[in-house]
Structure 1
């Protein structure tokens, strides 16, 4: 799995990117844009510096993709299996790995297996997939995900569910998937993944698997589950809130914690994703540059959520449909960027991301680098990142200086021959 050590992910939510309807889907809906229509954007992902395409949910679902109704079928709003095959082939021809979103904690309430369980009762094979109280007042009551009645939890103590998830992962790996993001992995006992993954890895030894985890004992979860990594939400929160609240002490604390994790595994790092307010909306576009500097200079596997490289400013709202704004449609081709005002206006941020990812590419040891905090005030922070012990790197280390008041940022390569300025920004 050497490829993951050099991975920089471009994270796309396909249903949004391709303009698929999320709510009130017409019964006779036929997709105008399909998974294969991501292909015109792949060269731009390469130019950005990405080496992996991280896809949001693509399997048949009832609405937003996280309410799966068929794990073995591409969502009809995104086309079909042929569209998937074309996208994977085009990615691989360009050297891009493909990581899928595995929603294995729950299914949609319209999943045929759940409907079958309700119809056939507690002793049916279908019922073994779920935790359903068939004697509940008012009729059968299933365990649901975080109070969402349309999301029915799978029973992860069931051997049938272990077999299901392994079958799904193997099926799509055989069609070319290179890795998996495990959605809501924090809600599943780690021992479940430890049962699923060995067989999948035996069949597909190069896969990269990471769990979505908000908080908890990161190191223990990775060890017990058998994942390669997990989402570093602690660092994400510290980045945006330290910039917003002008408190780099919070970030320094998080970086020290991050370094402890990195001694055991390389976390998946990000400053934006499909579930959160855009970084440029949280801290403003100028300070979003500082966030991107941090993302691309600290250890881990960095992910860029589509739109952040154009300084998107959408806000997530706590209401039905409150995620829609952070999951926007993109034009059919990069050549149409000028027709979308916010994308055209954000080209300057695209240049920033390309420059920062270039720095990352020139120093691949950053994946497991060692961070040391230097000068620290509420408004300013400097830190150095050195190659890990035993690395064959040339001895250079990177010094990063951040000023949240200006705002400004510098990245300098420190070598025995002196300093080399790699990146500089003044807002």
Structure 2
């Protein structure tokens, strides 16, 4: 029984969705339970000796091969709650589920029930509202556009003249981004995420030398201020990348340690094992991986903490940036991130705090640290199914359904959903350069919950393998851009903004996975969209009961379609439909 029904009175099973609403989730073995009712009431609501509980039916919000998920939202009148579950099995047996075990009838003793002590608004997860309506565009500044050649580092190569390497430079800068802001507006972008812009040695800038200075290759602070103001004038938010897990080799405190060794006043800024310092063949200090040029910072040290928190405050306060993306966030202590949030939110309450974490991230998403993480579980499922085609449709449905139930709903709504980045091969390369598969990836990403992010150049067909191949120069010649792909992505972003339910306001649920065809719906109180995607290189015919005897508008063809008793749909190879009911 313990493996058939699962609930604990902790996240993500129960949480305050807002100041008056509690959401509760139950997991049950697939098809073991056919109906779930929540038993609930205020813990002090008695008539004589009888607890005055209520029963409300829960909704099955998703299913995998193994699990059925059930959810309900309720509004406790006094913000306190005791609760349990009345489950009806497929064989019509009743099981009462409580914190103290299972019963055949609802127990009289209130102490048996799960407890949600009090709905404190201060404990609720709260992320900036604007993020739900944001479509991000990630820019690797060195490779986006060269707008001011006078800033070119020594040895800068002509734009796009050769393949990217870990050490070559092409002169991308802030002016280049400013020159192309209207291109981003035309695409529909309203948020840009810049990889590190601070003074650094490398072309990628993840080895910071000075956290308070702009890298001279990109421009100066006044140019950056113009960039932020130019973005804000166009309704575009700006998020910077902070590397607080480690510094660069030429970071002044680390240079002092190299020079003065054990006598350095900065020796406790890092995790040094012993002296003298060794960098080869492996460092004798903690680093990012075993990269000796990226020594790990000791964020528990009070001086280090103050320095980094001052950095976090400075760029928000002085330049009005809208968010921080935090590199290698899972390797920094939770205590630091709690203070980081307080500092940033004090300056700008609606700043977006995004952590780079590649795995289950619930400990960072309880409302006291990050607003979101880079949603790599989503990324992995989408890439394995659509691009690499190593996953069948049912496994994909299972993967994404689990992702949706890993975190509370209000966390999912602001999750940073990417398909690729400077850390991965580009989606077109992952899809064997088949742009039909790339279109399916974009359709799924941009009709999903969360805050989607596009990697620069993907929208015009840029390809590239793992780092450094994924960091090629942006292609600005019209004849070298795939304008059809650009228009397709542009249309999806427009629908996301204009059609209620297409983007973040609709509830998401899979309807079926047949062969390599997936069907899912997005639903609001007034609108319902049904998506059909064929991830196979041949036509697929499916029957979709949800459309039987219904009339719908198909968005991509703009045609009205009427279905008969048997709603048979033929989907061409790598084809797709979106039916608006």
| Shorter-chain TM-score range | 0.7 to 0.9
Q: Using the TM superposition, give the Cα deviation of residue 224 of structure 1 relative to its aligned residue in structure 2, in angstroms.
A: 6.9
Match of 1:255 in 2: 400
Work out which of the two has the higher radius of gyration on C-alpha atoms and give 1 or 2. 2
After superposition, the Cα gap between the structure-2 partners of 1:70 and 1:404, relative to the gap in structure 1 and judged at 3 Å, is: same
CA offsets, 1:125-171, max 9 Å, x none?
A: 42232111233686983211111111111112112222122111111
Q: Which runs of 5+ in 2 are unaligned?
A: 1-127, 158-168, 541-545, 558-573, 577-581
Match of 2:326 in 1: 182
Deviates more, 1:132-141 or 1:239-248: 132-141
Aligned pairs for 1:123-138 within 5 A: 124-135=264-275
After superposition, the Cα gap between the structure-2 partners of 1:83 and 1:12, relative to the gap in structure 1 and judged at 3 Å, is: same
- Using the alignment, how far apart are the partners of 1:126 and 1:290 within structure 2? 51
- Using the alignment, how far apart are the partners of 1:133 and 1:171 within structure 2? 32
Q: Using the TM superposition, give the Cα deviation of residue 275 of structure 1 relative to its aligned residue in structure 2, in angstroms.
A: 0.9
- Using the alignment, how far apart are the partners of 2:510 and 2:338 within structure 1? 36
Aligned: 1:398 with 2:549: no
Match of 2:519 in 1: 382
- Whether the 8 Å CA contact 1:371–1:384 is kept in 2: the answer is yes
Q: Which runs of 5+ in 1 are unaligned?
A: 317-322, 388-393
- Using the alignment, how far apart are the partners of 2:218 and 2:256 within structure 1? 26
Residue from 51, 55, 61 that aligns with 2:194? 55
| TM-score, structure 2 as length reference | 0.64
Residue from 515, 529, 553 that aligns with 1:420? 553
Q: Using the TM superposition, give the Cα deviation of residue 399 of structure 1 relative to its aligned residue in structure 2, in angstroms.
A: 1.3
Count of residues in correspondence between the two structures: 400
CA offsets, 1:239-266, max 9 Å, x none?
A: 1111222512232112212321252403
| Structure of greater relative contact order (alpha carbons < 8 Å, 6+ residues apart) | 1
Match of 1:120 in 2: 260
After superposition, the Cα gap between the structure-2 partners of 1:73 and 1:371, relative to the gap in structure 1 and judged at 3 Å, is: same
After superposition, the Cα gap between the structure-2 partners of 1:241 and 1:138, relative to the gap in structure 1 and judged at 3 Å, is: closer
- Whether the 8 Å CA contact 1:278–1:315 is kept in 2: the answer is yes
- Whether the 8 Å CA contact 2:139–2:455 is kept in 1: the answer is yes
- Whether the 8 Å CA contact 1:105–1:187 is kept in 2: the answer is yes
Q: Using the TM superposition, give the Cα deviation of residue 369 of structure 1 relative to its aligned residue in structure 2, in angstroms.
A: 3.7
Match of 2:497 in 1: 361
Aligned: 1:373 with 2:514: no
CA offsets, 1:368-425, max 9 Å, x none?
A: 54221112134111011224xxxxxx5212211110114799xxx99xx952222368
- Whether the 8 Å CA contact 2:240–2:321 is kept in 1: the answer is yes
Aligned pairs for 1:185-224 within 5 A: 185-216=329-360, 218-223=361-366
| TM-score, structure 1 as length reference | 0.86
- Using the alignment, how far apart are the partners of 1:242 and 1:302 within structure 2? 18
- State the SS of the aligned residue for 1:101: strand
- Using the alignment, how far apart are the partners of 2:287 and 2:308 within structure 1? 18
Deviates more, 1:349-358 or 1:128-137: 128-137
Aligned: 1:296 with 2:451: no
Match of 1:43 in 2: 182
After superposition, the Cα gap between the structure-2 partners of 1:326 and 1:185, relative to the gap in structure 1 and judged at 3 Å, is: same
Match of 1:8 in 2: 135
Residue from 455, 462, 473 that aligns with 1:305? 455
Aligned: 1:351 with 2:524: no
Match of 2:427 in 1: 279
Aligned: 1:337 with 2:478: yes
- Using the alignment, how far apart are the partners of 2:135 and 2:553 within structure 1? 24
After superposition, the Cα gap between the structure-2 partners of 1:405 and 1:137, relative to the gap in structure 1 and judged at 3 Å, is: closer
Q: Using the TM superposition, give the Cα deviation of residue 122 of structure 1 relative to its aligned residue in structure 2, in angstroms.
A: 4.0
- Using the alignment, how far apart are the partners of 1:382 and 1:287 within structure 2? 16
Aligned: 1:268 with 2:416: yes
Match of 1:157 in 2: 300
CA offsets, 1:95-130, max 9 Å, x none?
A: 111011111111111111111123334464422321
Residue from 63, 80, 92 that aligns with 2:220? 80
